[in-house]
């Protein structure tokens, strides 16, 4: 009989055992991220696999359980390389929410993907170059928006789209998003910055790339709504939140961007500013991925003070009463909750809030992923899968009463528009209509 | 400011859903606050109330066993009325998808290990497999679905002297998937009736089983017979085989559990319950012995939720509503008192399936399901507890887990709702 089966042995009384117990450091004090406790928490229930939108349509994809804890154990052996299937994970992060055992799945996927790209991927390959371009959308957009009309004409040209697909592997099926003729930041500077000053109510806006270059109306709505509630809004200089970089394993690019963002925002926290994002992937990145993946001064404070815009007002204002006593012209929306909103617990707030708004019909189009997952659906080899994942959402949108879509995520909105032809609004735009 | 409601239910399983539905019936504005995806996904989808107590059982009716339960059992706090109210809420939420509501009697439902479990409500797809139904049984398992070993399960059943003959066979699924394919992949293939060489998944599967049938008058499968089109899948297989087919509930992630989760969350939506999921409640603020605010860790950032009344339905040791280290058992959200022997060697028995003390660990409720402190005084005026976090029941041995959740959920939810809307 082993000791474990004979706990009554007087020499092993619990007191004696705990008094003499000294923790021994079994593993080296490496500065690498030690994900072993997370891996050990996995009891292989496969709840994560069942929640994975990629695994649902791709029989070859081994799923989050393999990509996370199983792969982590495998690659602890020196001779085991990260499996290339990690590049098929779209970083929707749904597995985090599905795991009943607290395994940090997306953190494992991000680190594995980073390692794969760094150590396995040929830096001259078409895939690497394409991914690097997609991951650095902000840089691309900065160039494109210098001459927005010209760029829009070029990118919308079907010959250019074919070349993009053939040369770069960027699908020709999608319409490249138009650049605004005036970026959000240009508008912000032209209006002379904040119109409201306050010592008490202050927010720093993280607009991200998309609402700056492509949908400045979302950023403008954010500013007007917050100013109408008496907030001083500031717009610090910023880089990409890192979301597309994580998804493509470009962790060095992401770390550089994170460093600049943390530096520019963390200083404002002491002055009473909270950080607001209008894109739920940006807020997800600042809140979860930053502190999980990088060790940068002030990064935890940034995480602790970052909010999605609507969420902030729900917590700090009586937004519900405000909305209930307002009205807008009759309109009906088909709302889709982005995966990253889901993980922050924000998937129901738009429907919950706007149900109370006079004139508005709003309906949730179900809990499926839209399928685009940022840059994933832009890749030529992923396009069909991306549309298969989105099929449920398109179907529900067709059946919904509304013929205008609504979502917080820029790429989900591209996918919604691409699959249905609907116009897509951001919740802030409706809120602006209601309360400003 | 905070996000404000009348009743805040903390948890996402059966007890939490029931408490929220019950509170909503009083007209209160209710929010369900759940951390992860519902634990219903891990559950069999069966709803037991009471099968065994005081060394007796299985009981013909769950109510037969109430007297044999110890005085501190949650069923004695809520009474038979509470149990019936919980079942009523459940029946209303799931409608025709479940059976068993026509009688007070327990049904004997087969588990994937081949044992019989006394059960009060069961999915309709399970019904033809009841031990009380007559007819010889063929159980079908698949090489690639390791959760269910049909020959072993059949042997177990036969050894339990069921009044029919039972045989298990292992066949190949008509379509091959990667070796660790999930149960939902099989269900999807049947839903879509995917084509395979020579036919479709449904027709080929029926052919393979028809070749094995030897006079049996019902055929059981692990629960994987379709998801969105499950009725259609079962009907077609039954039609092709000429005998009824049924599902045997399986372990996590269980298709029947996933379906139950969908039904209950739909019912919550229908009842106007607001739902916030994805993040854990980690802290709280009090004033004059009342919980004013529950603090939720929303990816490292704290969000306050306010409500007049709170229901704690976070589960037991397995569901993480109770936490343990080598010396203590704690209730991590509100720090409710959880009595336990000082010596942890008294927490369990040497036998794996023994009468473990830990199985009954949990908060000690007053007669309104409010957790009490060491002295028996109510810990917080406006906090009630429901489900696995409530101590006093050994739900695994009693086969009472769902019933305790339904009954305490129904009563805690109703009392909270009434208090909040007074």
pLDDT for the residue B252: 83
Average confidence score pLDDT of chain A: 90
Which is nearest to A206 in space by CA: A286, A139, A141? A286
pLDDT for the residue A24: 54
What CATH number should be reported for the domain holding residue A105?
1.10.1060.10
Kindly tell me if the per-residue pLDDT of A32 is higher than 70.
Answer: no
Tell whether B69 and B218 lie within a shared domain: no
What CATH number should be reported for the domain holding residue B236?
3.40.50
- pLDDT, tens only, A276-312: 999 999 999 999 999 999 999 999 999 999 999 999 9
Whether the CB-CB separation of B245 and B225 falls below 8 Å is answered with yes
Size of interface A-B (CB pairs under 8 A): 105
Range of the domain at B153: 112-248
Q: How far apart are CA B21 and CA B220, in angstroms?
A: 34
Question: Dihedrals φ, ψ of B99, to 5°?
Answer: -125, 170
The verdict on residue A42 lying in a domain is: yes
Kindly tell me if the per-residue pLDDT of A6 is higher than 90.
Answer: no
The verdict on residue B264 lying in a domain is: yes
Residue among B255, B282, B298, B341 with most chain A CBs within 10 A, to mutate: B298
Tokens of B135: 């007819």
The verdict on residue A21 lying in a domain is: no
The verdict on residue A151 lying in a domain is: yes
Q: Do B278 and A97 touch (CB under 8 A)?
A: yes
Tell whether B140 and B285 lie within a shared domain: no
Element (H, E) at A158: helix A158-163
> Could you say which of B227, B248, B269 is where a domain stops?
B248
The verdict on residue B222 lying in a domain is: yes
Rounded to a whole number, what is the distance in Å from the CA of A26 to chain B's nearest CA? 21
Tokens of B185: 């992949």
Place of tokens 């910055």: A193
Confidence of residue A34 (pLDDT cuts 50, 70, 90): low
pLDDT for the residue B178: 83
Tell whether A287 and A339 lie within a shared domain: no
Query: A303: which residues sit within 8 A by CB, 6+ positions away?
Result: A286, A287, A288, A290, A291, B299, B300, B301
Between the CA atoms of B95, B96, B99 and B102, what dihedral angle is there, to the nearest 10 degrees?
80
Q: Do B326 and A288 touch (CB under 8 A)?
A: no
Which chain B residues have a beta carbon less than 8 Å from that of A284?
299
Q: Do A287 and B277 touch (CB under 8 A)?
A: no
B363 DSSP β-pair partners = B390
The verdict on residue A5 lying in a domain is: no
3-class SS shares of chain A: helix, strand, coil, % to 5: 55, 10, 35
- pLDDT, tens only, B372-388: 999 999 999 999 999 99
* Residue in chain B nearest A342 by alpha carbon: B278
Please state whether A423 falls in left (phi above 0), alpha (psi between -120 and 50) or beta.
Answer: beta
- pLDDT, tens only, B280-297: 999 999 999 999 999 999
Residue that wins the pLDDT comparison between B300 and B14: B14
The verdict on residue B104 lying in a domain is: no
Rounded to a whole number, what is the distance in Å from the CA of A304 to chain B's nearest CA? 4
B142 DSSP β-pair partners = B145, B171
The verdict on residue B326 lying in a domain is: yes
Which chain A residues have a beta carbon less than 8 Å from that of B39?
100
Tell whether B308 and B411 lie within a shared domain: yes
Q: Do B300 and A287 touch (CB under 8 A)?
A: yes
Q: Do A345 and B42 touch (CB under 8 A)?
A: no
pLDDT for the residue A155: 86
- pLDDT, tens only, B400-419: 999 999 999 999 999 999 99
Rounded to a whole number, what is the distance in Å from the CA of B325 to chain A's nearest CA? 12
The verdict on residue A19 lying in a domain is: no
* Residue in chain A nearest B255 by alpha carbon: A50
Angle formed at CA A411 by CA A410 and CA A414, multiple of 5 degrees: 95
Tell whether A293 and A205 lie within a shared domain: yes
Please state, as a whole number, how many other Cβ atoms lie within 10 Å of the Cβ of residue A350. 25
Q: Do A51 and B37 touch (CB under 8 A)?
A: yes
Q: Do A287 and B278 touch (CB under 8 A)?
A: no
Rounded to a whole number, what is the distance in Å from the CA of B420 to chain A's nearest CA? 19
Give the mean pLDDT of A380-384: 96
* Residue in chain B nearest A353 by alpha carbon: B274
Kindly tell me if the per-residue pLDDT of A45 is higher than 90.
Answer: no
Rounded to a whole number, what is the distance in Å from the CA of A287 to chain B's nearest CA? 6
Question: Dihedrals φ, ψ of A179, to 5°?
Answer: -85, 140
pLDDT for the residue A181: 95
A381 burial via Cβ count (<10 Å: 0-12, 13-18, 19+) = exposed
Rounded to a whole number, what is the distance in Å from the CA of A432 to chain B's nearest CA? 21
Q: How far apart are CA B240 and CA B385, in angstroms?
A: 49
Q: How far apart are CA A326 and CA A116, in angstroms?
A: 52
> Could you say which of B248, B282, B317 is where a domain stops?
B248
Tell whether B264 and B152 lie within a shared domain: no
The verdict on residue B106 lying in a domain is: no
Q: How far apart are CA A179 and CA B38, in angstroms?
A: 42
Tell whether B207 and B281 lie within a shared domain: no
pLDDT for the residue A18: 44
pLDDT for the residue A23: 54
Tell whether A203 and A284 lie within a shared domain: yes
Query: B244: which residues sit within 8 A by CB, 6+ positions away?
Result: B128, B217, B218, B219, B238
Tell whether A226 and A248 lie within a shared domain: yes
Tell whether B10 and B80 lie within a shared domain: yes
Q: Do B278 and A343 touch (CB under 8 A)?
A: yes
- pLDDT, tens only, A172-198: 999 888 999 999 999 999 999 999 999
b/e per residue A238-273 (b: at least 16 CB within 10 A): bbbbbbbbbbbbbbebbbebbeebbebbbebbeeeb
B58 burial via Cβ count (<10 Å: 0-12, 13-18, 19+) = middle
Confidence of residue A15 (pLDDT cuts 50, 70, 90): very low
Q: ipTM of this complex > 0.95?
A: no
Length of chain B: 422
Name the residue facing A315 among B1, B277, B279 (closest C-beta).
Answer: B1
Q: Do B1 and A343 touch (CB under 8 A)?
A: no
Q: How far apart are CA A303 and CA A65, in angstroms?
A: 27
Q: Do B278 and A99 touch (CB under 8 A)?
A: no
pLDDT for the residue A329: 96
Tell whether B118 and B165 lie within a shared domain: yes
Tell whether A330 and A301 lie within a shared domain: no
Tell whether A212 and A282 lie within a shared domain: yes
Whether the CB-CB separation of B116 and B160 falls below 8 Å is answered with yes
Q: Do A344 and B299 touch (CB under 8 A)?
A: yes
Name the residue facing A47 among B37, B177, B178 (closest C-beta).
Answer: B37
- pLDDT, tens only, B197-217: 889 999 999 999 999 999 999
The verdict on residue A255 lying in a domain is: yes
Which chain B residues have a beta carbon less than 8 Å from that of A303?
299-301
Rounded to a whole number, what is the distance in Å from the CA of B390 to chain A's nearest CA? 20
* Residue in chain B nearest A46 by alpha carbon: B253
Give the mean pLDDT of B78-86: 98
Average confidence score pLDDT of chain B: 95
Q: Do A59 and B178 touch (CB under 8 A)?
A: yes
Q: What percent of chain A has pLDDT over 90?
A: 78
Q: Do A45 and B39 touch (CB under 8 A)?
A: no
Tell whether A346 and A297 lie within a shared domain: no
Element (H, E) at A307: strand A306-308
Place of tokens 């939140």: A241
What CATH number should be reported for the domain holding residue A255?
1.20.1050
The verdict on residue B105 lying in a domain is: no
The verdict on residue A7 lying in a domain is: no
Rounded to a whole number, what is the distance in Å from the CA of A310 to chain B's nearest CA? 12
Tell whether B65 and B162 lie within a shared domain: no
Place of tokens 């006593």: A325
Evaluate the omega torsion of the peptide bond into residue A250 and state whether it is cis, within 30 degrees of 0.
no
What CATH number should be reported for the domain holding residue B274?
3.50.50.60
Which chain B residues have a beta carbon less than 8 Å from that of A347?
277-278
Name the residue facing A46 among B182, B327, B350 (closest C-beta).
Answer: B182
Q: Do A59 and B279 touch (CB under 8 A)?
A: no
Q: Do B276 and A7 touch (CB under 8 A)?
A: no
SS3 for chain B is: CCEEEEEEEECCCHHHHHHHHHHHHCCCCEEEEECCCCHHHHCCCCECCCCCECCECCCCCHHHHHHHCCCCCHHHHHHHHHHHHHHHHHHHHHHHHEECCCCCCCEEEECCCCCEEEECEEEHHHHHHCCCCCCCEEEEEECCECCCCHHHHHHHHHHCCCCCCEEEEEECCCCCCCCCCCHHHHHHHHHHCCEECCEEHHHHHHHHHHCCCCCCCEEEEECCCCCCCHHHHHHHHHHHHCCCEEEECCCCCCHHHHHHHHHHHHHHHHCCCEEEECCCEEEEEEECCEEEEEEEEECCEEEEEEEEEEEECCCCCCCCCCEECCCCEECCCCCCCCCCCCCHHHCCCCCCCCCCCHHHCCECECCCCCEECCCCCECCCCEEECHHHECCCCHHHHCCHHHHHHHHHHHHHHHHHHHHHC
Rounded to a whole number, what is the distance in Å from the CA of A143 to chain B's nearest CA? 34
Element (H, E) at A344: none
> Could you say which of B248, B266, B300 is where a domain stops?
B248
Tell whether A189 and A305 lie within a shared domain: yes
Minimum mean pLDDT range among A16-30, A266-280, B123-137: A16-30
Tell whether B325 and B185 lie within a shared domain: no
Range of the domain at A155: 126-168
- pLDDT, tens only, A308-349: 999 999 999 999 999 999 999 999 999 999 999 999 999 999
Tell whether B269 and B374 lie within a shared domain: yes
Tell whether A418 and A331 lie within a shared domain: yes
Confidence of residue A157 (pLDDT cuts 50, 70, 90): confident
Whether the CB-CB separation of B84 and B410 falls below 8 Å is answered with no
Tell whether B406 and B280 lie within a shared domain: yes
Whether the CB-CB separation of A307 and A274 falls below 8 Å is answered with yes
Name the residue facing B37 among A8, A60, A98 (closest C-beta).
Answer: A98
Give the total number of structural domains in chain A. 4
Q: Do A50 and B258 touch (CB under 8 A)?
A: yes
Confidence of residue A20 (pLDDT cuts 50, 70, 90): low
Tokens of B289: 């012995």
Kindly tell me if the per-residue pLDDT of A27 is higher than 50.
Answer: no
Query: A321: which residues sit within 8 A by CB, 6+ positions away?
Result: none
Confidence of residue A80 (pLDDT cuts 50, 70, 90): confident
The verdict on residue A2 lying in a domain is: no
Tell whether B283 and B412 lie within a shared domain: yes
Q: Do A18 and B344 touch (CB under 8 A)?
A: no
Q: Do B301 and A287 touch (CB under 8 A)?
A: yes
The verdict on residue B383 lying in a domain is: yes
Name the residue facing B36 among A5, A97, A304 (closest C-beta).
Answer: A97
Which chain A residues have a beta carbon less than 8 Å from that of B194?
none
* Residue in chain A nearest B279 by alpha carbon: A345
- Chain B positions contacting chain A at CB under 8 Å are 1-3, 36-37, 39, 41-42, 177-178, 180-185, 188, 252-253, 258, 274-279, 296, 298-304, 326-327, 343-345, 350
The verdict on residue B107 lying in a domain is: no
* Residue in chain B nearest A291 by alpha carbon: B300
DSSP alpha helix (H) spans, A205-287 = 208-213, 216-228, 243-247, 251-269, 280-284
Give the total number of structural domains in chain B. 2
Give the mean pLDDT of B5-25: 98
DSSP at A276? E
* Residue in chain B nearest A4 by alpha carbon: B350
Tell whether A115 and A131 lie within a shared domain: no
Tell whether A254 and A365 lie within a shared domain: no
- Chain A positions contacting chain B at CB under 8 Å are 5, 7-8, 14, 18, 45-47, 49-51, 55-56, 59-60, 62-63, 66, 97-100, 284, 287-288, 291, 300, 303-307, 311, 314-318, 342-345, 347-348, 352
**Within a 13 Å sphere around the CA of B352, how many CA atoms are in the beta-carbon half?**
0
Name the residue facing A47 among B2, B41, B296 (closest C-beta).
Answer: B41
Q: What percent of chain B has pLDDT over 90?
A: 89
Q: Do A305 and B301 touch (CB under 8 A)?
A: yes
Q: How far apart are CA A275 and CA A235, in angstroms?
A: 10
* Residue in chain B nearest A43 by alpha carbon: B252
Name the residue facing B182 among A7, A49, A348 (closest C-beta).
Answer: A49
């Amino acid at each position: 009989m082993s000791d474990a089966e004979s706990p009554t042995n007087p020499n092993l009384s619990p007191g004696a055992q705990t008094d003499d117990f000294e923790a021994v450091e079994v593993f080296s004090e490496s500065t690498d991220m030690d994900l072993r406790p997370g891996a050990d928490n996995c009891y292989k229930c496969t709840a994560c696999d069942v929640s994975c939108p990629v695994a649902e349509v791709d029989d070859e994809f081994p799923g989050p359980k393999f990509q996370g804890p199983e792969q982590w154990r495998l690659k602890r052996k020196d001779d085991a390389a990260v499996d290339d299937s990690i590049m098929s994970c779209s970083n929707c992060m749904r597995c985090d929410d599905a795991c009943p055992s607290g395994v940090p799945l997306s953190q494992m996927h991000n680190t594995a993907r980073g390692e794969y790209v760094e150590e396995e991927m040929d830096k001259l390959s078409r895939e690497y170059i394409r991914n690097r371009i997609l991951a650095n959308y902000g840089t691309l957009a900065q160039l494109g928006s210098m001459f927005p009309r010209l760029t829009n004409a070029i990118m919308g040209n079907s010959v250019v789209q074919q070349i993009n697909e053939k040369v770069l592997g960027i699908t020709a099926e999608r319409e490249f998003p138009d650049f605004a003729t005036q970026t959000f930041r240009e508008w912000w500077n032209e209006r002379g910055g904040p119109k409201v000053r306050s010592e008490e109510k202050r927010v720093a806006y993280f607009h991200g790339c998309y609402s700056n270059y492509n949908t400045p109306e979302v950023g403008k709505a954010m500013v007007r709504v917050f100013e109408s509630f008496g907030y001083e809004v500031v717009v610090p200089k910023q880089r990409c939140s890192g979301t597309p970089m994580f998804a493509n394993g470009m962790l060095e690019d992401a770390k550089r961007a994170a460093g600049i963002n943390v530096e520019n925002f963390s200083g404002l926290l002491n002055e009473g500013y909270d950080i607001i994002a209008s894109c739920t992937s940006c807020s997800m990145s600042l809140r979860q991925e930053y502190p999980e993946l990088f060790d940068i001064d002030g990064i935890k404070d940034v995480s602790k003070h970052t909010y999605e815009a609507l969420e902030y007002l729900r917590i700090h204002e009586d937004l519900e009463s405000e909305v209930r006593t307002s009205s807008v012209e009759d309109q009906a929306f088909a709302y889709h909750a982005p995966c990253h909103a889901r993980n922050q617990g924000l998937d129901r707030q738009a429907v919950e809030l706007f149900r109370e708004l006079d004139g508005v019909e709003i309906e949730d189009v179900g809990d499926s992923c839209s399928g685009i997952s940022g840059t994933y659906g832009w890749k030529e080899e992923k396009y069909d899968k991306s549309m298969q994942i989105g099929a449920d959402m398109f179907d529900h949108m067709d059946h919904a009463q509304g013929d205008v879509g609504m979502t917080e995520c820029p790429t989900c909105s591209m996918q919604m528009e691409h699959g249905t032809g609907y116009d897509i609004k951001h919740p802030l735009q409706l809120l602006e209509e209601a309360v400003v | 400011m905070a996000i404000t409601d009348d009743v805040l239910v903390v948890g996402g399983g059966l007890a939490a859903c029931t408490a929220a539905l019950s509170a909503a019936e009083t007209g209160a504005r209710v929010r369900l606050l759940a951390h992860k995806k519902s634990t219903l996904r891990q559950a069999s989808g069966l709803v037991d109330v009471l099968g065994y107590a005081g060394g007796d059982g299985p009981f013909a009716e769950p109510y037969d066993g109430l007297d044999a339960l110890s005085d501190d059992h949650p069923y004695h706090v809520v009474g038979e009325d509470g149990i019936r109210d919980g079942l009523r809420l459940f029946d209303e939420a799931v409608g025709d998808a479940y059976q068993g509501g026509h009688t007070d009697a327990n049904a004997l439902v087969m588990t994937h290990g081949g044992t019989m479990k006394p059960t009060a409500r069961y999915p309709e797809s399970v019904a033809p497999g009841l031990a009380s139904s007559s007819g010889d049984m063929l159980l079908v398992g698949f090489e690639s679905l390791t959760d269910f070993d049909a020959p072993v399960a059949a042997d177990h059943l036969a050894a339990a002297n069921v009044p029919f003959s039972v045989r298990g066979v292992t066949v190949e699924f008509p379509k091959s998937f990667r070796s660790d394919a999930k149960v939902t992949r099989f269900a999807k293939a049947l839903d879509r009736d995917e084509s395979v060489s020579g036919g479709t998944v449904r027709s080929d599967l029926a052919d393979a089983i028809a070749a094995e049938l030897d006079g049996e008058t019902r055929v059981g499968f692990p629960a994987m017979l379709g998801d969105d089109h499950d009725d259609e899948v079962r009907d077609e297989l039954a039609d092709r085989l000429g005998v009824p087919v049924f599902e045997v509930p399986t372990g996590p992630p269980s298709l029947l559990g996933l379906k139950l989760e969908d039904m209950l969350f739909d019912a919550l939506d229908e009842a106007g319950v607001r739902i916030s999921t994805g993040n854990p409640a980690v802290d709280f603020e009090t004033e004059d012995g009342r919980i004013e605010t529950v603090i939720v860790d929303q990816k490292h950032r704290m969000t306050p939720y306010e409500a007049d009344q709170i229901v704690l339905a976070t589960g037991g040791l397995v569901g993480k509503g109770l936490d343990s280290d080598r010396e203590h058992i704690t209730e991590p959200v509100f720090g409710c008192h959880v009595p336990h022997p000082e010596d942890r060697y008294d927490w369990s028995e040497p036998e794996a399936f023994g009468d473990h003390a830990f199985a009954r660990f949990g908060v000690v409720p007053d007669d309104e399901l409010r957790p009490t402190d060491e002295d028996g005084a109510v810990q917080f005026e406006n906090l009630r507890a429901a489900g696995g976090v409530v101590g006093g029941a050994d739900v695994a041995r009693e086969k009472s887990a769902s019933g305790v959740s339904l009954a305490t959920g129904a009563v805690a939810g109703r009392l909270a709702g009434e208090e909040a809307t007074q």
